[in-house]
Amino acid sequence: MVYTKAPRAWYATLSTFLVQSGYKRGLIDKTLFIKKEKKDIMLVQVHVDDIIFGSTKKSWCDEFEALMKNSVKTASTPIETKKPLVKDEEATDVDVHLYRSMIGSLMYLTTLRPDIMYLNGQLKLGLWYPRESAFDLEAYSDSDYAGANLNRKSTTRGCQFLGRRLILWHCKKETIIATLTTEAEYVAVASCRGQILWIQNQMFNFLIVNIGLLNL
């Protein structure tokens, strides 16, 4: 019972602390906290016990990092006491900080950034995110009718662009068995539309309201 309530207690404590520090909770994404002053903006995204933050003003990032270090108490991760670790006297000592950094990076890549893992195997390909580009949101979707040989299910594919920036893409087998090509395409469009609404809500949370016309 303690472990199931711990994430909620941590989020409640952290969100209260951020709100009291001048941040506003996102209207759609409640784990997003925003601080804005004139043309500068600070975004803090909370995911379980991980915090990702960035700002158009470097001093705000430095202040936030110092604020977290001075206000949050860290604790060691509990370890199984019945299975004690035995030191290998013949092996070379491992740099603890480097080891933790490498494990954290691998977990981040495998769970949150499959695009980077893919590009690592396709070194001749790349993603280009131009700085100067409009905020016109465009989306594309497609479906192969009954493409799966075993169960005759269709596969939905789609991608979304913000200007000339590819920001989201997906390829997923549909949960239903479409009886018509039109039905398979309708499911693909509905899935793509859901992604678009999520992107729009996120942009509104980022206080970016001048999004161009939607092309689907």
Q: What pLDDT, on a 0 to 100 scale, did the predictor assign at position 96?
A: 81
Q: Could you give the dihedral angle defined by the CA atoms of residues 172, 174, 178 and 184, in that order, rounded to the nearest 10 degrees? A: -40
| Distance between CA atoms of residues 179 and 95, nearest Å | 58
Give the residue from 195, 130, 190, 141 showing the smallest Cα distance to 163: 130
| Distance between CA atoms of residues 26 and 73, nearest Å | 25
In angstroms and rounded to an integer, the radius of gyration of the C-alpha atoms of the chain is: 22
- Residue 56 has phi, psi (to 5 degrees) of -80, -10
Report how far apart, in Å, the C-alpha atoms of 56 and of each of 43, 82, 94 are: 9, 49, 37
Its pTM stands at 0.51
Q: What pLDDT, on a 0 to 100 scale, did the predictor assign at position 2?
A: 36
What does the domain layout of the chain look like in residue ranges?
A: 2-71, 111-216
Q: What pLDDT, on a 0 to 100 scale, did the predictor assign at position 97?
A: 83
| Distance between CA atoms of residues 115 and 42, nearest Å | 25
Block means of pLDDT (10 residues each) for the chain, 216 residues, are: 56 83 82 84 80 85 82 59 67 80 75 64 71 79 80 84 82 81 85 83 69 53
Q: How far is CA 105 from the centre of its chain?
A: 14
Give the residue from 213, 153, 207 showing the smallest Cα distance to 177: 153
The burial of 18, by beta-carbon neighbours within 10 Å (0-12 exposed, 13-18 middle, 19 or more buried), is given as buried
Q: What pLDDT, on a 0 to 100 scale, did the predictor assign at position 1?
A: 32
